[in-house]
Amino acid sequence: MSERAAPFYCPYCGDEDLRPSPEGHGAWECGACNRAFRLAFIGLLAAGLRRDDTGEDGAR
Ligand SMILES: [Zn+2]
């Protein structure tokens, strides 16, 4: 299980200047807005994966 998932953009200001935070596991700091935040895995969705097989775009 990968615990190293990294955010690409700050969820608050959208900047890419993110670095791991010394606050600990899953914590990141944004150099643009000086916010620190934490990413956490909550769980799998009960509904499972959704597929759109309807093919309504007329590709065939
Ligand atoms: Zn930010």
Q: What is the DSSP string of the chain?
A: -------SS-TTT--S-EEE-TT-TTEEEETTT--EEE-------TT--------TT---
Gap from CA of 7 to ligand 1 centroid (Å): 11
Gap from CA of 29 to ligand 1 centroid (Å): 8
Low-confidence ranges of the chain (pLDDT < 70): 1-4, 53-60
Q: What is the pLDDT of residue 48?
A: 72
Q: Does the model's pTM come out above 0.85?
A: no
Q: Which residues hold their Cβ within 5 A of ligand 1, which is an ion?
A: 10, 12-13, 15, 30, 32-33
Gap from CA of 45 to ligand 1 centroid (Å): 28
